[in-house]
């Protein structure tokens, strides 16, 4: 059979980091994405859709999103199976319990934190699953119950679960434990950045994000279209995102003449797709003035490369000449030498902290307001 696996859409997210107007625009993009997913299911001839939780960002769903969801489900003509996650748990007055009253005949929502099943006789498929009924589910329902007797149907799992740690509060289960149940396909949700299969055979997968929502979700997003039976399981990734977040690094040349032009040319030749949100990290060494100059050219660089959004992150060393500081016998040199192992560390986080520490120290010695550096 062929199914579409998605989840973790977090529709109606607050997007509070982006300001009220942009936030509404982003929520609109979320609805367009939902339409595209249903369209994709139809185009690809999917016989079922599995939504493995966190379809919505919270239990409150806007009227626009609700109306769209209902009409898409009604017109889909295939079973839509949902396992509510930690962000959109099934509870009294939650979106899912309210929508039950609409009696959408092809919508199947798990509503208990005990293991449940839905049987689809025409497809000869049984879908196992459960619901988060609060924001946490300390124990995975699969691990405390005996599976009902086999009825000969193809066994699928649709669930929000965490395979990364047994101590997780989000229905923890290891890949080894999961493999023992013999599901032909386990459609998982919760970990957004894992598009690769979890097991060797590719029968256990996280859906991954369908469209990035921040710089925590880098790259293009999409859904899985899965062909599965007892003998084989093939999943193909279909990109559906109309925008994507990317990050890149530019190491400043020692000659900083025309530096903004050089950066603009560099970013342009990376030819990012339309709708790109880019975080450009500048590294190397530069004086305060050069960094200021680069930052003030942000809008120019963005426009030139046709980006939707650009932010420049300053990771430069505040040095005109590191060698000079190294030999400096004053406090400046002493601080530099002290921080040097961390400044040249391969650990990006450690390096970043050391750079910030050096900037604060040099700024304080110069009698400046250190908060200007932190900003």
Residue numbers at the binding site for Mn ion (CB under 5 A): 54, 85-86, 190
- The strand order across the sheet containing 154-160 reads 116-120, 125-129, 154-160, 185-189, 204-206
> Considering only CA atoms, which of 254, 299, 257 is closest in space to residue 280?
299
Nearer to Mn ion, 85 or 141 (CB): 85
Nearer to Mn ion, 173 or 184 (CB): 173
Nearer to Mn ion, 59 or 351 (CB): 59
Cβ of residue 316: shortest distance to Mn ion, in angstroms? 36
Nearer to Mn ion, 85 or 89 (CB): 85
Rounded Cα distance between 316 and 285, Å, is 5
Cβ of residue 137: shortest distance to Mn ion, in angstroms? 10
Nearer to Mn ion, 86 or 94 (CB): 86
Cβ of residue 81: shortest distance to Mn ion, in angstroms? 17
Calculate the CA dihedral of residues 226, 41, 74, 242 and round it to 10 degrees.
Answer: 120
CB 333 within 8 A of CB 325: yes
Nearer to Mn ion, 175 or 191 (CB): 191
What DSSP letter does each residue of 310-371 carry, written as one string? EEEEE--B--S-HHHHHH--SHHHHHHHHHHHHHT-S-HHHHHHHHHHHHHHHHHHTT--TH
Cβ of residue 150: shortest distance to Mn ion, in angstroms? 30
Nearer to Mn ion, 73 or 137 (CB): 137
Cβ of residue 193: shortest distance to Mn ion, in angstroms? 12
Cβ of residue 115: shortest distance to Mn ion, in angstroms? 19
Cβ of residue 225: shortest distance to Mn ion, in angstroms? 22
In 69-193, beta strands by DSSP E: 80-82, 107-109, 116-120, 125-129, 154-160, 185-189
What DSSP letter does each residue of 303-326 carry, written as one string? HHTT-SEEEEEE--B--S-HHHHH
- Inter-CA distances, 31 with 20, 38, 70, 276, 309, Å: 17, 11, 12, 19, 21
Nearer to Mn ion, 53 or 222 (CB): 53
Six token digits for residue 131: 């619901």
Cβ of residue 138: shortest distance to Mn ion, in angstroms? 14
Calculate the CA dihedral of residues 324, 329, 334, 336 and round it to 10 degrees.
Answer: 0
Rounded Cα distance between 19 and 92, Å, is 31
């Amino acid at each position: 059979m062929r199914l579409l696996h998605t989840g973790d859409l977090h529709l109606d997210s607050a997007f509070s980091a982006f300001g009220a107007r942009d936030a509404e625009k982003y929520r609109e993009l979320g609805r367009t994405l939902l339409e595209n997913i249903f369209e994709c299911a139809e185009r690809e001839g999917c016989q079922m859709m599995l939504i493995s939780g966190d379809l919505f960002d919270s239990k409150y769903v806007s009227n626009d999103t609700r109306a769209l969801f209902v009409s898409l489900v009604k017109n889909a003509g295939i079973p839509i199976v949902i396992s509510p996650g930690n962000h959109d748990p099934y509870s009294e007055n939650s979106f899912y319990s309210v929508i039950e009253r609409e009696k959408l005949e092809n919508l199947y929502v798990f509503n208990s934190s005990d293991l449940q099943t839905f049987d689809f006789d025409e497809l000869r498929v049984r879908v196992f699953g459960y619901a988060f009924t609060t924001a946490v589910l300390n124990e995975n329902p699969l691990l405390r119950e005996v599976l009902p007797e086999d009825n000969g149907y193809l066994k699928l799992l649709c669930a929000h679960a965490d395979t990364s740690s047994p101590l997780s509060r989000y229905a923890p289960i290891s890949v080894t434990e999961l493999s023992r149940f013999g599901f032909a396909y386990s459609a998982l949700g919760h970990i957004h950045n894992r598009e690769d299969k979890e097991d060797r055979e590719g029968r256990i997968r996280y859906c991954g994000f369908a469209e990035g929502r921040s710089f925590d979700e880098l790259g293009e997003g999409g859904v899985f279209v899965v062909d599965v039976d007892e003998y084989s399981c093939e999943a193909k990734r279909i990109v559906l995102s109309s925008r994507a977040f990317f990050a890149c690094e530019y190491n400043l040349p020692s000659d900083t003449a025309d530096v903004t032009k050089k950066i603009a040319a560099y970013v342009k030749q990376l030819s990012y797709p339309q709708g790109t949100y880019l975080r450009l990290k500048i590294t190397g060494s530069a004086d305060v003035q050069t960094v200021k100059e680069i930052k003030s050219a942000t809008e120019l660089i963005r426009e030139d490369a046709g980006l939707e959004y650009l932010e420049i992150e300053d990771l430069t060393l505040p040095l005109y000449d590191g060698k000079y500081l190294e030999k400096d016998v004053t406090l400046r040199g002493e601080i530099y030498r002290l921080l040097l192992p961390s400044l040249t560390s391969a650990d990006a986080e450690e390096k970043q902290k050391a750079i910030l520490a050096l900037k604060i120290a040099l700024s304080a010695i110069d009698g400046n307001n250190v908060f200007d550096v932190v900003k």
